[in-house]
Amino acid sequence: MAPATSLLTDHYELTMVEAALAAGTAQRKSVFEVFARRLPEGRRYGLLAGTGRLLEGLADFRFGPEELEFLAERKVVNEQTLNWLADFRFSGTITGYAEGEIYFPGSPLLQVESTFAEACLLETYLLSILNFDTAVASAASRMIAVADGRPCIEMGSRRTHESAAVAAARAAIIAGFTTTSNLEAGRAYGLPTAGTAAHSFTLLHDSEREAFEAQVATLGKGTTLLVDTYDVEQGVRTAVEVAGPELGGVRLDSGDLVDQARWVRELLDSLGNTKTRIVVTSDLDEHAIAALRSAPVDVYGVGTKLVTGSGAPTAGMVYKLVSREGNDGEWKDVAKAATGKASVGGRKSAYRRINERGRATAEVIGIDEAPELGERDRSLIVPLVVDGVVQPGFTGAEGVKAAIARREASIQELPGAAKQMLRGEPVIPTIYVDEN
Amino acid sequence: MAPATSLLTDHYELTMVEAALAAGTAQRKSVFEVFARRLPEGRRYGLLAGTGRLLEGLADFRFGPEELEFLAERKVVNEQTLNWLADFRFSGTITGYAEGEIYFPGSPLLQVESTFAEACLLETYLLSILNFDTAVASAASRMIAVADGRPCIEMGSRRTHESAAVAAARAAIIAGFTTTSNLEAGRAYGLPTAGTAAHSFTLLHDSEREAFEAQVATLGKGTTLLVDTYDVEQGVRTAVEVAGPELGGVRLDSGDLVDQARWVRELLDSLGNTKTRIVVTSDLDEHAIAALRSAPVDVYGVGTKLVTGSGAPTAGMVYKLVSREGNDGEWKDVAKAATGKASVGGRKSAYRRINERGRATAEVIGIDEAPELGERDRSLIVPLVVDGVVQPGFTGAEGVKAAIARREASIQELPGAAKQMLRGEPVIPTIYVDEN
């Protein structure tokens, strides 16, 4: 059995359940929604990721003996609540945007419908996953846009929490990265992994030549040799001498990459290595990748900036109660009025308005009633969990594949401005339609 | 048995082992060091965290049947390497700064001495943990400095990866936060947890008054009531009516907190609630906390900015081979020359120079030979793992307690400028002493 995910949550989710159980309000049917009030500053769109992961962990969101013992010992909640938690398994319904979908401010990314107690409990867990994975996917998507067809490798594991690294690799692949360096991501999600050698491998050996010979002897001539440990020009020459014309690639990890890529390309060509690829990997982000557009670079390896969301390390999503039953059994829309954080009550529907050229023109959000869709418009909300049962197709390797396909189609629909690095407003407006 | 941590690594660590095994260089004794080339821009010092966590996971850094099957199936490495991995357990020695210690550019935070193959394998895993945990602890430490004795609660779980959230809570407590909202952090490390209610709890009920009554009935009059769901003034008045003079606290989560804290304090006092505390929780970081210094705030709740390192989400530590044996059995210092990323070869020692007033004046790093310590100087490197055996005192709840004590003492030593929010150079210089 996988470790329980139920304590990956905030203390107050449980005290709220306790108080609601005592007050007789815990069983009120409720709808919570996940959305982002805004995109990170200057970003034109967001890319949703994490949905598959949160569905994978939902079955393990249970309170077993170890979790209950901790809660009892610490007096986090009382006896009545402990009994309720012991029986807890999520029995409600979750709908939302499919993983890999593009989103905008206000998009109802997840809708959790259940009793207040059940839906309340999931808040922190759902937000943790969506906020991190989406931050990485959204940053990754900008990098992919400016890489303009050149492959990108995710290699940021060492720059973020060891488990977050696995999620980051998964999110990057969903956004369009071709491979990851993270082995656990490869194992858990069937993702392609790649890697060759670091500077330490060169330093281990008595000369750069011996190191290259050792690497080529084991990994083959098609491997990529890291040529900047000592002197780049000498490194390139030695690499070609050792591996010959079949040398797969050389990697540049320091210095002025634009300038270096140019003369290294010329040098490789002059040595007859016209097919040897140039891989660059030094502190890249979307701006550095854009600056390298004109340089003869074949592959980008991206680390730090990718796994930290390139300036936006969290997606800023929130989880808000938007509607709930009263004692009379009537549904009541609810919203808070807090300054700068007001929410919009009522259960949302959402579609993307698509014009005759197949381009998205607006994110249309209906409140309480679903607005009528035009012929080309695309409904955005799909069932993810129905009466406690996770729907097929969203989890594991299959889920990642589906998310990649969804992302490809959704990016295709976006106006061209989405691919530009210019900071600006969301590339399409969010329009609220209130049928009431 | 805990899940293996061995695949939380980069593909290239394994291909390097494979190539070194084939070349006969895998068994060369090697020393790798972890250090940060620089602090995040403008920061005056860093606070090391994560050491306990990496030691906890070291025993599970093994390759069991599942891991080996994945590596074989994907042909990540060959048969010889799989056999070597099957037998792998780290048998070397790790020394380094104690968790909770202050550090500066170049401080040798971890030194891993073993065969190249053993030490190489750990790179990604060690860096992931130290880079994340230290980023959070360093940001947290600045917040604690400006909070100036007022308690800070960690509540950022929902803004970072669900497992990273646990590590972030632990790092925040090491840095001086008093409590966390994260229950798993409470369970795993014996940390104090806290929490009361969110806006959804108020919205669930038919009126703010009913919600407050439900909360007070269960959590007692000493609880903290969230008063900004509708109207803050009315919220405060209702809270006092419901809980009376014993009301523990009111929480403000939106709007102009400086202004609000002032008039809410006056209002509470005028109602006789002079002991009711004011808790503020809206997007706080060290700058917002500094701005609230003059306001009558009792407790800060910090989320997003804490768990994302307040602008520096990763500590930028690297893992470099600094010395290794040759075929002749002689140790050889090694360093790469890559532009802007040059490293300093040779095994380091480190001490903090302390003046007659007990204040730190320099981070002194010796190369190959330990420089002589002055009377008050403090040696910084301690044994963490000896011949594969994790030394006692660094892991679990005990490790966190020791790290808190270490941090308190080390912060105490820093020049006063460390506590200022002004951006600047590291508060003491790093001095290299080369005995050769």
The residue among A194, A214, A254 whose CA lies nearest residue B10 is A194
Cα–Cα distance measured from residue B224 to residue B264, given in angstroms and rounded to the nearest whole number = 14
> With an 8 Å Cβ cutoff, are A124 and B157 in contact?
yes
Whether the pLDDT of residue A361 is over 70: the answer is: yes
Any CB–CB contact under 8 A between A157 and chain B? Answer: yes
* pLDDT of B435: 60
Characterize B60-93 residue by residue with b for buried, 16 or more Cβ atoms within 10 angstroms of its Cβ, and e for exposed.
ebbbeeebbebbeeeebbbeebbebbeebebebb
* A-B contacts at Cβ under 8 angstroms: 352
* pLDDT of A417: 87
Per-residue pLDDT, averaged over A46-56, amounts to: 98
Counting Cβ atoms within 10 Å, is residue A283 exposed (0-12), middle (13-18) or buried (19+)?
Answer: middle
Whether the pLDDT of residue B1 is over 70: the answer is: no
B421 compared with B183, residue with greater pLDDT: B183
Please state the ipTM of this predicted complex: 0.97
> With an 8 Å Cβ cutoff, are B203 and A321 in contact?
yes
Which tokens belong to A306? 């990718």
* pLDDT of A372: 84
Helix orientation angle between A232-243 and A257-270, rounded to the nearest 10 degrees = 40
* pLDDT of A333: 95
Answer for the pair B254, A339: CB distance below 8 angstroms, yes or no: yes
A113 CA: distance to closest CA in chain B (Å): 13
Residue A420's pLDDT band (cuts 50, 70, 90): confident
Which residues in chain A are closer than 8 Å to B189, comparing Cβ atoms? Answer: none
Helix orientation angle between B208-219 and A11-23, rounded to the nearest 10 degrees = 100
Cα–Cα distance measured from residue A247 to residue A233, given in angstroms and rounded to the nearest whole number = 16
Which tokens belong to B144? 């604690």
Per-residue pLDDT, averaged over A223-252, amounts to: 98
| C-alpha dihedral sign at A343, A346, A347, A350 | negative
Percent above pLDDT 90 for chain A:
91
What's at A23, amino acid-wise? A
Residue A423's pLDDT band (cuts 50, 70, 90): confident
> With an 8 Å Cβ cutoff, are B186 and A155 in contact?
no
Please give the mean pLDDT across all residues of chain A. 96
B401 CA: distance to closest CA in chain A (Å): 18
Any CB–CB contact under 8 A between A134 and chain B? Answer: no
Which residues in chain A are closer than 8 Å to B164, comparing Cβ atoms? Answer: 132, 160-161, 163-164
Counting Cβ atoms within 10 Å, is residue A303 exposed (0-12), middle (13-18) or buried (19+)?
Answer: buried
Chain-centroid distance of CA B33 in Å reads 19
Whether the pLDDT of residue B77 is over 80: the answer is: yes
B436 compared with B110, residue with greater pLDDT: B110
**Which of A71, A123, A337 faces B230 most closely, judged by CB atoms?**
A337
Per-residue pLDDT, averaged over A148-177, amounts to: 98
Task: Write the pLDDT tens digit of every residue in B121-132.
Answer: 999 999 999 999
Whether the pLDDT of residue B12 is over 70: the answer is: yes
Whether the pLDDT of residue A256 is over 80: the answer is: yes
Q: Which residue of A has its CA nearest to B321?
A: A200
> With an 8 Å Cβ cutoff, are B195 and A307 in contact?
no
Strand partners, B389: B386
> With an 8 Å Cβ cutoff, are A161 and B162 in contact?
no
Q: What are phi and psi of B7, to 5 degrees?
A: -95, 0
DSSP letter string over A121-153?
Answer: HTHHHHHHHHHHHHHHHHHHHHHHHHHTTS-EE
The residue among B172, B150, B341, B161 whose CA lies nearest residue B249 is B150
Any CB–CB contact under 8 A between B435 and chain A? Answer: no
Residue A179's pLDDT band (cuts 50, 70, 90): very high
> With an 8 Å Cβ cutoff, are A304 and B320 in contact?
no
* pLDDT of A280: 98
3-state secondary structure string across chain B: CCCCCCCCCEHHHHHHHHHHHHHCCCCCEEEEEEEECCCCCCCCCEECCCHHHHHHHHCCCCCCHHHHHHHHHCCCCCHHHHHHHHHCCCCCEEEEECCCCEECCCCCCEEEEEEHHHHHHCHHHHHHHHHHHHHHHHHHHHHHHHHCCCCEEECCHHHCCCCHHHHHHHHHHHHCCCEECEHHHHHHHCCCECCCCCHHHHHHCCCHHHHHHHHHHHHCCCCEEECCCCCHHHHHHHHHHHHHHHCCEEEECCCCHHHHHHHHHHHHHHCCCCCCEEEECCCCCHHHHHHCCCCCCCEEEECHHHHCHHHCCCCCEEEEEEEEECCCCCEEECCCCCCCCCCCCCCEEEEEEECCCCCEEEEEEEECCCCCCCCCCEECEEEEEECCEECCCCCHHHHHHHHHHHHHHHHHHCCHHHHCCCCCCCCCCEEEEECC
* pLDDT of B337: 84
Whether the pLDDT of residue A421 is over 90: the answer is: no
Per-residue pLDDT, averaged over B394-411, amounts to: 98
* pLDDT of A62: 97
Give the strand pairing for A348-354 and A360-367. antiparallel
Which tokens belong to A322? 């938007």
Any CB–CB contact under 8 A between B320 and chain A? Answer: yes
Identify from A200, A226, A279, A306 which residue to disrupt to test chain B contact, counting B C-beta atoms within 10 A and taking the largest count: A200
Task: Write the pLDDT tens digit of every residue in A66-94.
Answer: 999 999 999 999 999 999 999 999 999 99
Q: Please report how many Cα atoms fall inside a 13 Å half-sphere around the Cα of residue A172, on the Cβ side.
A: 35
Per-residue pLDDT, averaged over B234-260, amounts to: 97
Any CB–CB contact under 8 A between B14 and chain A? Answer: yes
Cα–Cα distance measured from residue B16 to residue A403, given in angstroms and rounded to the nearest whole number = 33
Any CB–CB contact under 8 A between A131 and chain B? Answer: yes
> With an 8 Å Cβ cutoff, are B30 and A204 in contact?
yes
* pLDDT of A3: 77
Cα–Cα distance measured from residue B106 to residue B36, given in angstroms and rounded to the nearest whole number = 6
* pLDDT of B436: 52
For residue A251, the surrounding DSSP H or E stretch is: strand A249-252
Whether the pLDDT of residue B2 is over 90: the answer is: no
Percent above pLDDT 90 for chain B:
91
Show which of residues 395-424 on chain B sit within 8 Å of chain A, judged by CB atoms.
none
**Which of A160, A186, A229 faces B338 most closely, judged by CB atoms?**
A229
For residue A257, the surrounding DSSP H or E stretch is: helix A257-270
* pLDDT of A436: 52
Hey, what domains does chain A have and what are their CATH numbers? 11-135+312-397 (3.20.140.10), 137-311 (3.20.20.70)
Any CB–CB contact under 8 A between A11 and chain B? Answer: yes
The residue among A192, A246, A198 whose CA lies nearest residue A221 is A246
Any CB–CB contact under 8 A between B10 and chain A? Answer: yes
A361 CA: distance to closest CA in chain B (Å): 30
Cα–Cα distance measured from residue B53 to residue B57, given in angstroms and rounded to the nearest whole number = 6
Which residues in chain B are closer than 8 Å to A158, comparing Cβ atoms? Answer: 10, 123-124, 127-128, 131, 319
Identify from B11, B279, B333 which residue to disrupt to test chain A contact, counting A C-beta atoms within 10 A and taking the largest count: B11
* pLDDT of B420: 80
Cα–Cα distance measured from residue B89 to residue B95, given in angstroms and rounded to the nearest whole number = 17
Percent above pLDDT 70 for chain A:
99
Cα–Cα distance measured from residue A91 to residue B129, given in angstroms and rounded to the nearest whole number = 36
Any CB–CB contact under 8 A between A89 and chain B? Answer: no
Strand partners, B335: none
Whether the pLDDT of residue A435 is over 80: the answer is: no
Which tokens belong to B136? 């959070």
Give the strand pairing for B360-367 and B348-354. antiparallel
Any CB–CB contact under 8 A between B158 and chain A? Answer: yes
The residue among A86, A20, A48 whose CA lies nearest residue A394 is A48
Which tokens belong to A398? 């299959």
Cα–Cα distance measured from residue A423 to residue A430, given in angstroms and rounded to the nearest whole number = 18
Strand partners, B30: B114, B324
Task: Write the pLDDT tens digit of every residue in B303-324.
Answer: 999 999 999 999 999 999 999 9
Whether the pLDDT of residue A210 is over 80: the answer is: yes
Residue entry with tokens 């004109």: A294
Whether the pLDDT of residue B216 is over 60: the answer is: yes
> With an 8 Å Cβ cutoff, are B338 and A74 in contact?
no
